[in-house]
Structure 1
Amino acid sequence: MQQKLTGTPSIQPANLLGLIKSKGTNYWMKVRERQMLELFHATSKRVPAYKDYLKKSKVNPERIETLKDFASIPPINKKNYLRVYPFDKLVWDGDIKKPITIHATSGSTGEPTYFQKEFIFDRRRELILENFFNCNELTLEGPTLFVITFGMGVWSAGMSIYTAAYLATNKNTYPISIISPGINKIEVLKILKKLAPYYQQVIIAGYPPFVKDIIDDALREGIDIKKFNTRFIFTGESFTEEFRNYLSEKAGIRNIFTDTMNTYGTSELGAMAVETPASIFIRRLAQKKNVYKELFGDGVNIPTLAQYIPYFVNFECVSGDLYFTGNNTIPLVRYQPGDSGGVFTFQQLENSLLNVDVRLKAEFEKLGISKYIHKLPFVYVYERKNLATTLYGILIYPEFLKIALLNRQLNQFLTGKFTMIRKHDKRQNQYLEINLELKKGVYFKKYYETKTLEKIIETLKLKSSEFRELYKNLQNKANPKLVFWPYEDEKYFKPGIKQTWVKKIS
């Protein structure tokens, strides 16, 4: 029996988890080619917007027969596709008369953007969670408490993972209890104090910096986190291996490869790729310069490395930019999410590591994780450059600050230029640093800091409902750190060059 998304050509084998555990590179590359071509042809025939887009791009769908042909199709993105056509022209057969779940995210304007998902997408995330549950015997032995600390309500991350956990738990009768306090630290701490002691294991799902806050505060309040056999599921942003080490040490993680998992996803398609024991091991290995260079070239930041299921989504890398092709209520073919990175097959990555004397099979056996290794393809993703930064998984766009700095009072002493940097202190606490340029001849006064911070917080709360919810729970801990610089200081405000609104550091 196969599961089919109503109205679309996407078919997912009923025994997919078994295929993931048993199949190798050749199988997955054949699936990749078939899925990409089939989705393209179905979309070109049955999605009014895409049919029109191809016509305007002078693409004859009948001539697209191979992956080489496929690579000639003009890519789509928000600007040239999603924002050009009305919603009812973007969906299969122009028909929204079917069960659809709608989630929202705040875009660069602060206005919510709505995304639609059908039941099959919950089933896909269910399978990802099921695989994660199966990587730890204590989870299946139970009782296990699953604590979801993502924003709930209309926001996609919390509702998606709740639904997937509910489906996986009930389908398999796992001994897992689910509770969803959302981004509410007080409630989470109450749960850890009063409810968690009744369970053999606790799984905490949330944005990385928020999860860290929970662990730090729990330890400060005398909660013995280590006795919970804790596991973590993250999404929303990347993090360093130092961050993973910090959390693992504080929470007493037993196996860093099987008990932590980050997710790479987009609003358009949801969770697309996830960390696995294999990807975590390789990413940690890439902290060695020779390994990093062999895999990622001459960069400095270690990207998120994850594996993906070709039945769900497929990736291409074009001149360092990632494109993905995946089925959805709005199917997307060669879509540009704005991310940079690259792709590997399992075999390619395995062969590359031989060049630096790393034999993956032997390493996995040594670590005792061989039975959790799957030969799915890999995608690696760098954080987006000069677009936005994140704070507790929430996107902070430069536009928000530009609006705040237009305030008349602030204009008396600030030029309106700034550079945002997300940083971590020695205790791995995340904070947002905002470097601001003073006007020529103006010298810093404490009053400037107070007034500027007040206006920035006011604007962020006004423009981003996610930040408003975060601030309600974290209060002053969500405040950015402001640093004031002299006019045209060369560190951030060198004259004659384009202003860098967002700076990324490793």
Structure 2
Amino acid sequence: MNTESQRQRAVSAYTDFLNTPLDILIQQHLHTRVESAQQSPQQEEFPHGAASVLSLFHDVATSVPAYKHFLAEHAINPDSIQTFADFQTLPLITKENYLLRHPLANLCRHGQLEMCDMIAVSSGSTGKPTFWPRFFTDELQIATRFEQIFHDSFAADTKRTLAVICFTLGTWVGGMYTTNCCRYLASKGYPVTVITPGNNKEEILRVVQELGIAFEQVVLLGYPPFLKDVIDTGIARGIEWQRYQIKLVMAGEVFSEEWRSLVGERVGFQHPCYDSASLYGTADAGVLGNETPLSICIRRFLAAHPEAARTLFGESRLPTLVQYDPVSRFFEVKDRALLFSGDNGIPLVRYNILDTGGIINYNAMQQFLAQYGFDPVTELQAHGGRGVRPLPFVYVFGRSNFTVSYFGANIYPENVSVGLEQPEIRDWVTGKFVMQVKEDADQNRFLSIVVELAPGEEGNEQRRQAITSSILTQLLRLNSEFANYVPPEYQMPQIALVPTSDPEYFPVGVKHRYTRK
């Protein structure tokens, strides 16, 4: 690609982004469904976004050397892929069978790495870094997800907003990506000002106290456990978070609705559906979907009705629930694995990211909730009704290797977290724990949970009993396998309380794992 066409690509994408209001953009994308359905009347299931993903496939098949090679290896002629049913026969790509087998440049269009202007890094579960090149235009697509949150949830189109980036800066994907996207919103006319303390807690607290009062609201963007730590440290130092109209944008971890309520109480949320939002983001392709006031309203209902959640999601734990734009990121589900296709510095077609979950279209979700007498749209109308858009939903569970199996019941960290987030307990624990199945001297199995106490707190028998009873109550309420598979005499977990940063279970500076085998 020559310099001139690269420049044109940037100018036209930026002009579109600046000149297309969010409402019109989402309307246009919803409208593509009607057009694509008309193009292919013989197909019963021509999902929203299918026309765009077919066109992405043909573009990638002709312009990306690695994908050409991949198709040749599987003896696939790209011209034979004409319908959505054809598309669904394409082999899945993964890190192992595709990304790690080709030089970085060959994964980019025309084999030209220089067509990307930025490279981010993800460490992945193996610890070996993976490089993810992208171009300015890729970030603009993702900026629309941030715009959805800032517009629909925070009304930041009309409020002077300080966006404080609390993700780690440097080569890691979160910090720089988020910073850039927030700045594009400012260039589009949003009164948003960005500051980048990164994950430096002292600097975040200083910034909020010295600058926060000059704005109508302050948005903290970071990983949920880190933001909670910042908030709790601030409270310990006498910071009155309520003064700053705090909003939160999070990514990277599944959290419970009890957690959202707890953190919301501490900073003074007025309405939980509008004061925070989580992103489903990956290093591989930026942000795939985002929480909306509607998805949060639904998730809060499901958190209070575990039997409805189990029926909908098929598991005894609550996944992250977001809405997505199928024209930008197209999802499919195969054997409960989420696959997505999307354009990027490295375009991906039917990529298996190893997340488990599912997709639910907008109407199906409304019909399901109606069976339980719940209408989230009416609920949100009481708060002005912003953020109700008929986009499909995708739900994502944390990686399943973090479960433990006990008497054949899968026990999820999310079940235990809710026990520690109850009002009578949450003030003297950090929320971190390690769960494992052990055997006693008689070879009888028991469920062991080691819980980290908050700084300066001490354990005693009364606290241990309170935690035991709270976790057991939530396991029985949330996890039907636990309630039905585990004999009553083995249901009581054995709790140990240890001080903050205990070197064996909670070493400082190491990514925490909630389970041990």
Q: Scaled by the length of structure 2, what TM-score is found? A: 0.73
The letter for the 2-side match of 1:218 is G
Please list the CA deviations of residues 121-145 of structure 1 after superposition, one character each: whole Å capped at 9, or x if unmatched.
2212322222222236763444322
Q: After the TM superposition, which of the residue ranges 95-104 and 83-92 deviates more from structure 2?
A: 95-104
Report the Cα offset of residue 245 of structure 1.
0.4
C-alpha distance in 1, partners of 2:136/2:121? Answer: 17
SS of equivalent residue, structure 1 residue 311: coil
C-alpha distance in 2, partners of 1:99/1:39? Answer: 18
SS of equivalent residue, structure 2 residue 220: strand
C-alpha distance in 2, partners of 1:368/1:420? Answer: 34
Name the residue aligned to 1:457: none
C-alpha distance in 1, partners of 2:334/2:29? Answer: 25
SS of equivalent residue, structure 1 residue 254: coil
Name the residue aligned to 2:460: none
Name the residue aligned to 1:356: 372
C-alpha distance in 1, partners of 2:365/2:107? Answer: 36
Q: Does the Cα contact within 8 Å between 2:358 and 2:396 map onto a contact in 1?
A: yes
- The reply to whether residue 340 of structure 1 matches residue 356 of structure 2 is yes
- The reply to whether residue 17 of structure 1 matches residue 17 of structure 2 is no
Name the residue aligned to 2:430: 429
Name the residue aligned to 2:475: none
The letter for the 1-side match of 2:276 is T
Q: Does the Cα contact within 8 Å between 1:25 and 1:345 map onto a contact in 2?
A: no
Report the Cα offset of residue 290 of structure 1.
4.0
1:470-489 equivalences under 5 Å are 482=505
Report the Cα offset of residue 28 of structure 1.
4.3
Name the residue aligned to 1:135: 152
Name the residue aligned to 1:305: 321
Report the Cα offset of residue 24 of structure 1.
8.7
Name the residue aligned to 2:178: 161
SS of equivalent residue, structure 2 residue 101: coil
Cα gap change, 1:27/1:369 in structure 2, threshold over 3 Å: closer, same or farther?
A: farther
The higher-RCO structure (CA 8 Å, 6+ apart) is: 1
- The reply to whether residue 106 of structure 1 matches residue 129 of structure 2 is no
Please list the CA deviations of residues 282-314 of structure 1 after superposition, one character each: whole Å capped at 9, or x if unmatched.
1111121342144223x1111101011123211
Q: Does the Cα contact within 8 Å between 1:23 and 1:375 map onto a contact in 2?
A: no
Name the residue aligned to 1:414: none
Please list the CA deviations of residues 113-172 of structure 1 after superposition, one character each: whole Å capped at 9, or x if unmatched.
211111112212322222222236763444322111110011110111101111111221
Report the Cα offset of residue 177 of structure 1.
2.3
Please list the CA deviations of residues 70-100 of structure 1 after superposition, one character each: whole Å capped at 9, or x if unmatched.
1111100001100111112111111123242
SS of equivalent residue, structure 1 residue 194: helix
Cα gap change, 1:478/1:175 in structure 2, threshold over 3 Å: closer, same or farther?
A: farther
Name the residue aligned to 1:236: 252
Name the residue aligned to 1:326: 342
Please list the CA deviations of residues 25-44 of structure 1 after superposition, one character each: whole Å capped at 9, or x if unmatched.
67447451111111111111
The letter for the 1-side match of 2:368 is S
- The reply to whether residue 57 of structure 1 matches residue 74 of structure 2 is yes
Q: Does the Cα contact within 8 Å between 2:61 and 2:67 map onto a contact in 1?
A: yes
Please list the CA deviations of residues 313-359 of structure 1 after superposition, one character each: whole Å capped at 9, or x if unmatched.
11001111110001111111000000010001111211222222223
Cα gap change, 1:116/1:357 in structure 2, threshold over 3 Å: closer, same or farther?
A: same
Q: After the TM superposition, which of the residue ranges 214-223 and 353-362 deviates more from structure 2?
A: 353-362
1:176-325 equivalences under 5 Å are 176-287=192-303, 288-297=305-314, 299-325=315-341
Name the residue aligned to 1:90: 107
Q: Does the Cα contact within 8 Å between 1:148 and 1:179 map onto a contact in 2?
A: yes
Please list the CA deviations of residues 391-441 of structure 1 after superposition, one character each: whole Å capped at 9, or x if unmatched.
xxxxxxxxxxxxxxxxxxxxxxxxxxxx99687543262325275989x9x
C-alpha distance in 1, partners of 2:70/2:208? Answer: 52
Q: Does the Cα contact within 8 Å between 1:386 and 1:502 map onto a contact in 2?
A: no
Report the Cα offset of residue 270 of structure 1.
1.2
Report the Cα offset of residue 360 of structure 1.
3.9
Cα gap change, 1:189/1:388 in structure 2, threshold over 3 Å: closer, same or farther?
A: farther
Cα gap change, 1:24/1:123 in structure 2, threshold over 3 Å: closer, same or farther?
A: closer
Cα gap change, 1:296/1:214 in structure 2, threshold over 3 Å: closer, same or farther?
A: same
The letter for the 2-side match of 1:112 is P
SS of equivalent residue, structure 2 residue 391: coil
The letter for the 2-side match of 1:482 is Y
The letter for the 2-side match of 1:92 is R
Name the residue aligned to 1:466: none
C-alpha distance in 2, partners of 1:4/1:76? Answer: 31
Cα gap change, 1:97/1:300 in structure 2, threshold over 3 Å: closer, same or farther?
A: same
C-alpha distance in 2, partners of 1:435/1:351? Answer: 39
Name the residue aligned to 2:394: 379
Structure 1 segments unaligned to the other structure (5+ residues):
390-418, 441-448, 450-475, 484-500
C-alpha distance in 1, partners of 2:62/2:371? Answer: 46
The letter for the 2-side match of 1:204 is L
The letter for the 1-side match of 2:22 is L
Structure 2 segments unaligned to the other structure (5+ residues):
1-6, 37-47, 405-410, 442-449, 451-498, 507-512
Q: How big is the alpha-carbon RMSD for the aligned residues of Structure 1 and Structure 2?
A: 3.3
SS of equivalent residue, structure 1 residue 317: strand
The letter for the 1-side match of 2:78 is P
C-alpha distance in 2, partners of 1:434/1:291? Answer: 26
Q: Does the Cα contact within 8 Å between 2:377 and 2:388 map onto a contact in 1?
A: no
The letter for the 2-side match of 1:359 is D
* Among 142, 162, 166, the residue aligned to 1:125: 142
C-alpha distance in 2, partners of 1:357/1:310? Answer: 28
C-alpha distance in 2, partners of 1:310/1:267? Answer: 19
C-alpha distance in 1, partners of 2:202/2:403? Answer: 29
Report the Cα offset of residue 361 of structure 1.
3.5
Q: Does the Cα contact within 8 Å between 1:91 and 1:330 map onto a contact in 2?
A: yes
Report the Cα offset of residue 246 of structure 1.
0.4
Please list the CA deviations of residues 155-212 of structure 1 after superposition, one character each: whole Å capped at 9, or x if unmatched.
110111101111111221x333221111111111222332223332111111101111
Cα gap change, 1:326/1:429 in structure 2, threshold over 3 Å: closer, same or farther?
A: same
Q: Scaled by the length of structure 1, what TM-score is found? A: 0.75
Cα gap change, 1:430/1:12 in structure 2, threshold over 3 Å: closer, same or farther?
A: farther
- The reply to whether residue 72 of structure 1 matches residue 89 of structure 2 is yes
Cα gap change, 1:4/1:304 in structure 2, threshold over 3 Å: closer, same or farther?
A: farther
The letter for the 1-side match of 2:132 is F
Name the residue aligned to 1:401: none
C-alpha distance in 2, partners of 1:240/1:94? Answer: 43
